[in-house]
Structure 1
Amino acid sequence: MSHRQIVRALTGLILGLFVAILSSTIVSNALPKIISDLHGGQSAYTWVVTAALLSTTATTPLWGKLSDLFSKKLLVQLALVIYVVGSLVAGLSQNAGMLIACRVVQGIGAGGLTALTQVIMAAMISPRERGRYSGYLGAAFALGTVGGPLLGGVIVDTDWLGWRWCFYVGVPFAIIALIVLQKTLHLPVARRRVKVDWAGAFFVTAAVSLLLVWVTFAGDKYDWISWQTYAMLAGALLLVLVFVLVESRASEPIMPLRLFRNKTISLTSVASMFVGTGMFGSTVFLSQYFQLARGESPTMSGVMTIPLIAGLFLSSTVSGLIITRTGRWKAFLVSGGVLLTGGLALLGSMRSDTPYWHLALFMALLGLGVGMMLQNLVLAVQNQVGAADLGAASSVVTFFRTLGGAIGVSALGAVLGNRVTHYVADGLAALGVKSTGESAGAIPDLATLPAPVRHVVESAYGHGAGDVFLVAAPVAFLALLLVIFIKEVPLKTASGLQQAAGVPGHAEQTSAVPAQASAAETLAETAAETAEAVGVAAPVIPLPAEGTAIHGQVRGSEGAGVERATLTLISLTGRQLGRASTRADGGYELIAPGAGSYVLIAAADGHQPQASTVVVGEEPVPYDVVLAGTSGLSGTVVAEATGIPVAGAMVVVTDVRGEVLATGGTGADGAFGFEDLPAGDFTLAVNATGYRPAALPVEVAGNGPTHVEVPLRAGARLQGTVLGGTARTPLPEARVTLIDAAGNVVATATTGADGAYAFGDLDAGEYSLVAGGYPPVATQVTVGNGAAAGPEAGSEAGSAEGFDVELKHPEG
């Protein structure tokens, strides 16, 4: 898709995402007023937020899986309709229970919008280019996050509107998004029989709900260590085990367990949960802090959070552009983890009288960290999976992030409630007033409190909010530790739709697609562009129920079957006719609609894609495919004299123009390796401490990794003692200079108290040794192939050249 087509298609998605963000942020500054009017307490305050996060968490995997089975466009429109219905009814709420139920419906719609936006972006845009467009999503996220609280504050502060308009105001945006999506989003649809895993969705929802109920009421309705805690934790664990059992047997699981065999997906999912806990679980209480600890209006509390949103917008936009340009993303995850942890820890020191500029700086750091991690965690996972699992994998990360947020809001809400109750009781006791505890969980109205009591309440909420951030900081630190262990994989250059057509794409190997595949891809793109130009949807691709079978095996160059290779059958005009994945033995089967010539495209991770023409008649056609491995370079660095592996050597690969393509170091076994190098001629340069540098030409083949062995010659060593005077005593602080045969100064040294000097890592040859202190003496020295660095350096044993120099005044 061209840039113009992508931007047009993203317009409706961005509007939908803005609606989803608006629904979760617009109530943040209005909640104190809403809960007060509906006669709710701190528990209701927490559950208005948690209910939406819970329903979003539970339905995110379902939305993601449905996007792999149904029309993504239809699903995102359905999510918008659900959101509109939930919003309209929420505005009519008469009590806190009704509002919480409506927030559940809103969360279902918002979960679809957030999950499907990521899935559709991945289908249209390659991982390498996705960072460029993630900036647009970051802008929508920032606008919704900063505009929501501001808009909610203005609505609450406006008498003739009232807080109910906080739920109505997003409806026009949702309707506009529906219309825009209908006109601009055109994606091909592969229709097939579907089976929704309703049992999996039920058990994961039940497990999460039970866990959140326990977190919410522990420490309030019952002790943390009590029979209720044991019962709920055991019940949640049992439900999780049942969920795992159901998923392992489901034909279309909402959360395929095989995805977690990938280390990156496992680490990223858990890290996302911790990020969600630190982000949602702490920032949701900022508005409560500004209104109840500093006495600000809802509108001003939204204005005061602008540094947080500015940091988020800046880091998400800039990091996306840099990732698109460089293809590197791990540094931003690590940096984001550091900033997120630091920002939360610093906010843990805030109190009701903390200077605002301190808070602004701390919030900016927190926003920078969130912006670097939020989108890039999803990007890291999407880069690891094929097109068939794109929706499920994307929703897994979103699921764990919102799960962490839901747990964080519940747990940290309980922390805030307990700490505020404690601090209020202590403050009132200091005033000589005994707390009755009757309104311990209620949201106070500061305007009705006497000045001394108001000061106690403000101080309690300021200190309690600081405790919330202090608890969230270690959770963010755990996310930082996890992302450090994620292996950085170069971003692919093919979108999800291209991968579905058999063109996977790699960051360093974009020219490896055979000419037939490129031609077919061009035809397919031309057809899609033509459809959009005339304003109609891209053609739906039904899979034929009857036809002629094409079957066979996909093998690697070594002869073994390739599992989970993707095969795509297209017509000579570029239309997709069928797609299949290979079994564990590499076997596959496709159905051609009838006799004729077709193009069969085969692709698999770690292999070069291949396209070939298949002629189909009336009988089934056996057709095997052999995929060559991707090019790569590996080898071992050894000492020339002994053959011992050299650890810690620096290895550099340059092309014929001298451009550095890859760098790395050798391990304890002296081995090194570089994956996904294009075939061609390169220069391999190696250097290590105590050895002479080496460079050699290398030809990387196109049919698999190339292995080389690099011998390093040990450097010679020249050492000795400078003697002075007639007594020939060791001379300290004498200047010794070594000059090669061309007159170049190779090295200089100053003798120590024992008069000793030493030069290491020398080439064999003729040198001039000049010593000064007394009248200088110049002597010719011949250096052979001695030891690399002498026995004291710990390298292999060898001889060292010894040469003493005598200095004295001339006689007479």
Structure 2
Amino acid sequence: MATGAGGQRVRRSPGPPTAVAGGLRRPEAGRYLSARTGGRVSATAVAEASKAPPALSRRQTNVVFATIVLGMLMAALDQTIVSTALPTIVAELGGGGHMAWVVTAYLLAETVATVLVGKFGDLFGRKIVFQVSAVVFIAGSVVSGAANGMMLLIVGRAIQGIGGGGLMVTAMALIADVIPLRERGKYQGALGAVFGVTTVVGPTLGGLFTDHASWRWCFYVNVPIAIVMVVMAARTIPAVRAAVRPVIDYAGIVLIALGASGLVLGLEWGGNEYAWGSPVIIGLFVGSVLLLAGFVLVEFRAKEPMLPMHLFRNSVFTVCSILSFIVGFAMLGAMTYLPTYLQFVDGVSATMSGVRTLPMVVGLLGTSMLSGVVVSRTGKYRIFPILGTGVMAVGLWLMSTMGPGTGVWLESLYMFVLGLGIGLAMQVLTIAVQNTVPYHELGTATSGVTFFRTLGSSFGTAVFGTLFSSRLTPNLTDAAAQQPSVPPAAVQSPAGLHALPAEQAAPFVNAYAETVNYVFQWVVPVALVGFLIAWFLKEVPLRDSARAGAGDLGEGFGAPDSADADRQLERVLSNLMRRTKGRSGVKEQILADSGSDLTPGQAWALGQVYWRGRYAGGADVGAIAAAHHVPGEVLEPAFEKVVHTGHLAERDGRLSLTPAGQAEVDRIGEAWRHWLGHHLDDWDVTDPDDRARLDRAIDTIAARLYEEEQERAAV
């Protein structure tokens, strides 16, 4: 392990290189300690580090990560896995008017759960909350799989959503608990990518289960996987609990949950179960508006609000939240009802309806990665939401022109265009917000944008469902008038419809095609509104820390994450470390900027003694050599030279900093602080809360890094 002056420790394993201020090979936060604290790590930081879990071996880390991935995999898949199974489910259980709620119930419950469970993880420990969430998810899966009616299925899906939301947000938090900081960005990016990819390939897997087993296995398959995951979690994940008791905004969470549910229910029932002007629908809308108004008032007064209202004074946050809502609206709505079109109109199986949506997935993933790379390299992001929403509107319009005569390749092209637009728009929204809010609000702002996308997905699915149901009944009635000999039950499932002779099935096929086209026509204006709003997005020069995360696929999909600002700041620093990996001249430049006459090797030696003096009460060459897995005689000449220069003193084999050595450590630490201030652009000039939070984060991170390294060396 190499240690930098100012206190950073660097493992032999690969990590982002840094200026060798202090001979260090990787730039991490601990190096700035000496500039702020005279080389002393705060007692709080040491206490925080002592609560950190034991350092894990590479094999243990991978096992823990596999356990966490299983949780994220199941929770993300169940957002979309039922979309290809919905026609079969409706044919068996009935209740086609409630079809959208099979998806919406999960999304709404997940939205609320991600907010609550994140706090419960801090309160009770993330390991136990992860396991409890898995058990709840199992219960919801069993209820959904065994459902004998649509209402019971919706209840089961809501239970699943609670468990799924808990799994997703604690999965992201567990990465921060058990993965070393230097490697955390890589694992978090991978976990976010898992979330994104499984979300969009869910329909294909749902089709496979529906065709080759039963739609019920879309839910039952979770049970054995979740049981294995619970056992693995009990055996592998260390128990960690936050040192500070969190404040939970219960009133705000309840009000937003009830208000959003009321709106979605009103949109779902309006024009189907009840007339739009009926007392029930009007009551739902009025009640929801009052609940949401109450939510706003509560957020103004809450000690730690779920969604601070002052964030909306930031135009970038406001615009990105609206765009995130619209992207979620279009993406989940389209993914939910495209399989219905493909099965009823094109007559493909559930499996093939999932496969046929892959062009949209390819377009979405392709432009998500491309836009992330471009933003990372250029620092320019404003053009992507503008292009994305415009292309998304074109894609929706093209899909509204599809019919029984549209060829497979043309349909695939239309879906590909829609995917291109969604991918262009969604990747940069989180990055843009993280780039403009103060560092102490990173967590809240990030989770806020994710919240609006999930909410948009809920509303999109509900609105798509309302438009579909309101149009389908009269269209099928007109078709039945043309073919009165066809029994109604025969056209309620894709299999039954396409078992009919072609001339009898044709009017009903056209009815389904016209219905889905009608849905996409009405969603085009929503995308156009997004296109107009995107022009109001400000182009703010990207911080280096924001650029560092722009290329991660996971950032674009915005898997539910902790709203804790300290965790988000650690993630920013981790991404920054990765970005500086391989950058030549950084360490030499920082050492030169410090004004020190030391060589990189001498600075490294001082850093080693500095850290071990602070934590171990002293340092000796043998211990340092053992930590680096090299013979002591290899390092002895380097330390002897620093002793001869008067920067180190040796007594009874123990090394300590002389006043001259401490001065050099402080000087190099100050240079590292300036480096950090440059890369975390305005952190030290705009907000005193940012300065205090960053100082705390640096102390805690540095202490944790040292503890991790000592335990790793002991292993």
- Which deviates further from its counterpart, 64-73 or 323-332? 64-73
8 Å CA contact 2:256, 2:292 repeated in 1: yes
Residue 569 of structure 2: aligned partner? 499
The 1:471–1:301 alpha-carbon spacing in structure 2 relative to 1, beyond 3 Å, is same
8 Å CA contact 1:64, 1:394 repeated in 2: no
Out of 248, 261, 277, which is 1:196 matched to? 248
Out of 418, 430, 437, which is 2:470 matched to? 418
Give the Å deviation of 1:176. 5.2
What are the within-5 Å matches in structure 2 for residues 460-475 of structure 1? 460-475=511-526
Determine if the alignment matches structure 1 residue 46 to structure 2 residue 100. Answer: yes
Give the TM-score normalised by the residue count of structure 2: 0.65
Residue 360 of structure 2: aligned partner? 308
8 Å CA contact 2:440, 2:689 repeated in 1: no
- Which deviates further from its counterpart, 305-314 or 4-13? 4-13
The 1:401–1:155 alpha-carbon spacing in structure 2 relative to 1, beyond 3 Å, is same
What is the SS of the residue equivalent to 2:428?
Answer: helix
In structure 2, what residue type is equivalent to 1:50? T
Q: Bigger relative contact order, structure 1 or 2, given CA contacts below 8 A and separation 6+?
A: 2
Give the Å deviation of 1:168. 1.7
Query: Distance between the aligned counterparts of 1:455 and 1:501, measured in 2?
Result: 56
Residue 200 of structure 2: aligned partner? 145
Query: Distance between the aligned counterparts of 2:164 and 2:567, measured in 1?
Result: 25
Query: Distance between the aligned counterparts of 1:501 and 1:300, measured in 2?
Result: 40
Out of 234, 251, 255, which is 2:286 matched to? 234
Query: Distance between the aligned counterparts of 1:103 and 1:340, measured in 2?
Result: 29
Query: Distance between the aligned counterparts of 1:430 and 1:456, measured in 2?
Result: 7
Give the Å deviation of 1:178. 5.2
Determine if the alignment matches structure 1 residue 251 to structure 2 residue 313. Answer: no
What are the within-5 Å matches in structure 2 for residues 355-370 of structure 1? 355-370=407-422
Out of 470, 487, 509, which is 1:458 matched to? 509
The 1:136–1:364 alpha-carbon spacing in structure 2 relative to 1, beyond 3 Å, is farther
What are the within-5 Å matches in structure 2 for residues 377-456 of structure 1? 377-385=429-437, 389-430=441-482, 433=484, 445-446=496-497, 449=500, 451-456=502-507
Determine if the alignment matches structure 1 residue 80 to structure 2 residue 80. Answer: no
Determine if the alignment matches structure 1 residue 99 to structure 2 residue 175. Answer: no
Query: Distance between the aligned counterparts of 1:150 and 1:557, measured in 2?
Result: 45
The 1:335–1:187 alpha-carbon spacing in structure 2 relative to 1, beyond 3 Å, is farther
8 Å CA contact 1:119, 1:391 repeated in 2: no
The 1:389–1:440 alpha-carbon spacing in structure 2 relative to 1, beyond 3 Å, is farther
What is the SS of the residue equivalent to 2:340?
Answer: helix
Query: Distance between the aligned counterparts of 2:347 and 2:308, measured in 1?
Result: 49
8 Å CA contact 1:59, 1:201 repeated in 2: no
What is the SS of the residue equivalent to 1:52?
Answer: helix
Query: Distance between the aligned counterparts of 1:239 and 1:411, measured in 2?
Result: 21
8 Å CA contact 1:135, 1:321 repeated in 2: no
Residue 620 of structure 1: aligned partner? none
In structure 1, what residue type is equivalent to 2:133? A
Out of 95, 109, 128, which is 1:55 matched to? 109
The 1:423–1:52 alpha-carbon spacing in structure 2 relative to 1, beyond 3 Å, is same
In structure 2, what residue type is equivalent to 1:416? F
8 Å CA contact 2:133, 2:166 repeated in 1: yes
Structure 1: which 5+ residue stretches go unaligned? Answer: 535-555, 578-812
Determine if the alignment matches structure 1 residue 296 to structure 2 residue 366. Answer: no
Residue 217 of structure 2: aligned partner? 165
Give the TM-score normalised by the residue count of structure 1: 0.58
In structure 2, what residue type is equivalent to 1:353? G
- What RMSD, in angstroms, separates the aligned Cα atoms of the two structures? 4.6
In structure 1, what residue type is equivalent to 2:340? Q
Out of 527, 532, 549, which is 1:481 matched to? 532
Give the Å deviation of 1:65. 5.1
Give the Å deviation of 1:31. 1.9
What is the SS of the residue equivalent to 1:98?
Answer: helix
What are the within-5 Å matches in structure 2 for residues 561-710 of structure 1? 562=688, 565-567=691-693, 568=695, 574-575=702-703
Structure 2: which 5+ residue stretches go unaligned? Answer: 1-9, 16-57, 550-565, 597-603, 616-623, 629-681, 706-715
Determine if the alignment matches structure 1 residue 353 to structure 2 residue 481. Answer: no
Query: Distance between the aligned counterparts of 2:248 and 2:567, measured in 1?
Result: 23
- Which deviates further from its counterpart, 372-381 or 492-501? 492-501
Summarize deviations over 1:425-459 as a string: whole Å, max 9, x none: 3333445x4999x8899657315656444221111
In structure 1, what residue type is equivalent to 2:136? I
Query: Distance between the aligned counterparts of 1:467 and 1:27, measured in 2?
Result: 22
Higher relative strand content: 1
Determine if the alignment matches structure 1 residue 30 to structure 2 residue 85. Answer: yes
Give the Å deviation of 1:370. 2.3
What is the SS of the residue equivalent to 1:466?
Answer: helix
Query: Distance between the aligned counterparts of 1:504 and 1:150, measured in 2?
Result: 35
Summarize deviations over 1:204-247 as a string: whole Å, max 9, x none: 11111111121111112333344444322211111111122222
Q: How many residues align?
A: 542
- Which deviates further from its counterpart, 22-31 or 349-358? 22-31
What is the SS of the residue equivalent to 2:475?
Answer: helix
Determine if the alignment matches structure 1 residue 154 to structure 2 residue 208. Answer: yes
Query: Distance between the aligned counterparts of 2:109 and 2:346, measured in 1?
Result: 32
Query: Distance between the aligned counterparts of 2:281 and 2:150, measured in 1?
Result: 25
Residue 20 of structure 1: aligned partner? 75
The 1:408–1:503 alpha-carbon spacing in structure 2 relative to 1, beyond 3 Å, is closer
The 1:182–1:367 alpha-carbon spacing in structure 2 relative to 1, beyond 3 Å, is farther
Query: Distance between the aligned counterparts of 1:107 and 1:499, measured in 2?
Result: 28
The 1:23–1:501 alpha-carbon spacing in structure 2 relative to 1, beyond 3 Å, is closer
Query: Distance between the aligned counterparts of 2:276 and 2:486, measured in 1?
Result: 23
